[in-house]
């Protein structure tokens, strides 16, 4: 099933930065996505330790990427938002199991790319390498921006941004989950909410 | 030295021995000793630095202030400029200790034959992957909050601390100087 192709292509096109030479490779990449699939609230898209070499395109819905704390518990680390691309990068880059988990909090509509299947279908590996380098290059400034935001924004600012990106977060998540994402205690979150 | 560089490449890049030898021939390698200095950026050529020893801080100008984004340690490869790498934030690299680095001019990919292009691109891919996963670790660090996490961070980066101001450390950890001082004080008293 390749119903997602135009959507995935449109989502990824920004990474091409107008480079027409890589457009054919990007079309082939977008064509390889399967879906749409639907995840129900609470469903795990990728679990911690997962070895499936998948990349996801999230068309709609919200969730959390969870990282493992030294204590062995999972903490909400990053918000999954519509129109985003998520990958099991531990597996894709280093062949290691996933070091995080992706969990849906609302219904999520998504597409998936199975990398070994995709790589086997490639006729032009060179174009793919170029495209993949372009995609990774595009992700680096995004990741740097995220680090800077985390360093610079205060907790109330992070809460305000969470509410802006996931307006119904309090409908779908418990206060404990939200406190986990903001890395504050529940009492601090309650204080912040009272001030709001 | 290059075998050490290849050693930090992700396994899946799988560069072969003869490819490594070609890279060794091709890359212009210059060992440099740098001390508490800003690393020179060459805006016209793609190049990378392999840190053999020492620590290098990556800073970016953000909201009117120069902020520490990451600390690169020995064994890391830093991309100073790569053809495929478009940076929104221009990073400034400053030595936090005396460092021994190797500057590598990356191949002008378009001038190479198909096989060499493939090798060079996989090498770049390795650098990009390394950087992405390294930044993910930095992103975890940016969120840590408690004294134990801070202590672990201090231990990991002990060698780099003399090259940073209290303000820069507080900024990196998103904690006030007063909080850091309180944690240090608590630590001193068990």
Domain shared by B96 and B168, yes or no = no
CA distance B174 to B167: 10
Those residues whose C-beta lies under 8 Å from the C-beta of residue B163, and which sit 6 or more positions away, are B36, B55, B57, B94, B95, B96, B97
How is residue B71 written in tokens? 């600390």
CA distance B110 to B118: 11
Q: Which of A136, A162, A180, A182 to mutate: most B Cβ within 10 Å? A: A136
Out of A126, A137, A144, the one facing B89 most closely (by C-beta) is A144
Listing DSSP states for B143-168 in one string gives: H--SHHHHHHHHHHTGGGGGGS-HHH
Out of A138, A140, A151, the one facing B135 most closely (by C-beta) is A140
Domain shared by B93 and B184, yes or no = no
A132 contacts B125? CB cut-off 8 A: yes
- The residue range of the domain holding A182 is 154-196
How many angstroms separate the CA of residue B117 from the nearest CA in chain A? 8
Residue A52 has pLDDT above 90, yes or no: yes
Chain B residues in contact with A141 by the CB 8 A cut-off are: 86-89
CA distance A75 to A59: 24
Domain shared by B77 and B135, yes or no = yes
Which residue pairs from B156-161 have beta carbons closer than 8 angstroms and sit at least 24 positions apart in sequence?
B157/B55, B157/B71, B159/B54, B159/B55, B159/B73, B159/B96, B159/B97, B160/B55, B160/B57, B160/B71, B160/B73, B160/B96, B160/B97, B161/B96
Domain shared by A23 and A73, yes or no = yes
Q: Which of B11, B64, B129 to mutate: most A Cβ within 10 Å? A: B129
Domain shared by B127 and B164, yes or no = no
A–B CB contacts, 8 A cutoff, strictly below: 100
| Cis amide bond preceding A44, omega within 30 | no
Tell me which residue has tokens 């999230």.
A58
| Chain B nearest-CA residue for A92 | B12
What letter does residue A2 receive in the DSSP assignment? B
Residue B190 has pLDDT above 80, yes or no: no
- What is the average per-residue pLDDT within B98-115? 76
pLDDT for position A54: 95
Give the end of a domain, one of B106, B124, B143.
Answer: B143
pLDDT for position A15: 73
Domain shared by B153 and B138, yes or no = no
- What are the DSSP E strand ranges found in A40-83? 44-46, 54-60, 63-68, 74-80
Any idea what the CATH number is for the domain that residue B11 is in?
2.60.120.10
* Number of domains chain B contains: 2
- Of residues B119 and A80, which shows the higher confidence score? A80
User: How does strand B28-35 pair with strand B98-105?
Assistant: antiparallel
Domain shared by B133 and B77, yes or no = yes
User: Does the predicted model carry a pTM greater than 0.90?
Assistant: no
Domain shared by B24 and B63, yes or no = yes
**pLDDT classification of B84: cutoffs 50, 70, 90:** very low
Domain shared by B115 and B168, yes or no = no
Domain shared by A147 and A159, yes or no = no
Domain shared by A120 and A166, yes or no = no
Domain shared by B86 and B115, yes or no = yes
> B143-158 as b/e, with b when 16 or more CB fall inside 10 Å?
bbeebebbeebbeebe
pLDDT for position A69: 72
Residue A95 touches chain B, beta carbons under 8 Å:
yes
Chain B residues in contact with A150 by the CB 8 A cut-off are: 139, 142-143, 174
Out of B84, B121, B133, the one facing A93 most closely (by C-beta) is B133
Chain A residues in contact with B138 by the CB 8 A cut-off are: 147
* Number of domains chain A contains: 2
Domain shared by A60 and A128, yes or no = yes
ipTM rounded to 2 decimals = 0.81
Residue B129 has pLDDT above 90, yes or no: no
Residue B110, Cβ density class (10 Å: 0-12 exposed, 13-18 middle, ≥19 buried): exposed
CA distance B126 to B9: 5
- The mean pLDDT value of chain B amounts to 75
Those residues whose C-beta lies under 8 Å from the C-beta of residue B55, and which sit 6 or more positions away, are B71, B72, B73, B74, B95, B96, B97, B99, B157, B159, B160, B163
pLDDT per position as a tens digit, A141-196? 888 888 888 888 888 999 999 999 999 999 999 999 999 888 888 999 999 999 87
- The residue range of the domain holding B182 is 147-188
- The mean pLDDT value of chain A amounts to 88
Residue A46 has pLDDT above 90, yes or no: yes
- CB contacts under 8 A, B 119-158 vs A, are 121-122, 124-125, 128-129, 131-133, 135-136, 138-140, 142-145
Domain shared by B154 and B78, yes or no = no
Q: What is the dihedral of CA B131, A62, B175, A146, to 10 degrees?
A: 30
Domain shared by A87 and A173, yes or no = no
- What is the average per-residue pLDDT within A64-80? 84
Domain shared by B19 and B38, yes or no = yes
**pLDDT classification of A70: cutoffs 50, 70, 90:** low
Domain shared by B130 and B152, yes or no = no
Any idea what the CATH number is for the domain that residue A25 is in?
2.60.120.10
Tell me which residue has tokens 């809460």.
A159
How is residue A81 written in tokens? 């938002």
Domain shared by A125 and A178, yes or no = no
How many angstroms separate the CA of residue B141 from the nearest CA in chain A? 9
């Amino acid at each position: 099933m390749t119903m997602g192709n135009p959507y995935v292509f449109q989502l990824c096109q920004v990474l091409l930065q107008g480079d027409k030479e890589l457009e054919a490779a990007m079309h082939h990449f977008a064509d390889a996505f399967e879906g749409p699939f639907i995840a129900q609230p609470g469903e795990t898209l990728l679990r911690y330790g997962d070895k499936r070499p998948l990349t996801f395109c999230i068309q709609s819905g919200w969730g959390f990427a969870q990282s493992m704390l030294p204590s062995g518990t999972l903490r909400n680390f990053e918000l999954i938002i519509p129109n985003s691309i998520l990958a099991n990068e531990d597996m894709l880059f280093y062949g290691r199991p996933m070091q995080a988990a992706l969990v849906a909090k609302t219904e999520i509509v998504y597409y998936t790319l199975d990398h070994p299947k995709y790589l086997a279908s490639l006729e032009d590996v060179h174009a793919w390498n170029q495209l993949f380098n372009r995609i990774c290059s595009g992700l680096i400034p995004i990741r740097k921006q995220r680090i800077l935001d985390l360093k610079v924004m205060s907790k109330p600012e992070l809460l305000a941004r969470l509410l802006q990106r996931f307006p119904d977060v309090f409908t779908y998540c418990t206060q404990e989950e939200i406190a986990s994402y903001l890395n504050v205690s529940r009492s601090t979150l309650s204080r912040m909410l009272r001030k709001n | 030295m290059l075998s050490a560089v290849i050693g930090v490449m992700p396994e899946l890049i799988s560069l072969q021995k003869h490819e490594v030898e070609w890279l060794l021939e091709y890359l212009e390698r210059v060992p440099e000793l740098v001390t508490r200095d800003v690393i020179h950026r060459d805006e016209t050529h793609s190049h990378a630095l392999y840190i053999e020893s020492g620590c290098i801080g990556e800073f970016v100008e953000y909201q009117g202030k120069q902020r520490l984004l990451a600390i690169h340690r020995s064994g890391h490869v830093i991309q100073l400029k790569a053809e495929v790498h478009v940076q929104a934030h221009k990073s400034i690299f400053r030595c936090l200790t005396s460092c021994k680095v190797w500057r590598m001019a990356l191949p002008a990919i378009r001038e190479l034959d198909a096989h060499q292009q493939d090798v060079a691109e996989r090498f770049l891919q390795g650098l990009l992957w390394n950087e992405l996963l390294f930044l993910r670790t930095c992103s975890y660090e940016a969120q840590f909050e408690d004294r134990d996490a801070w202590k672990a961070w201090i231990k990991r980066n002990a060698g780099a601390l003399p090259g940073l101001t209290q303000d820069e450390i507080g900024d990196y950890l998103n904690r006030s100087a007063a909080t850091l001082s309180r944690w240090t004080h608590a630590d001193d008293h068990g």
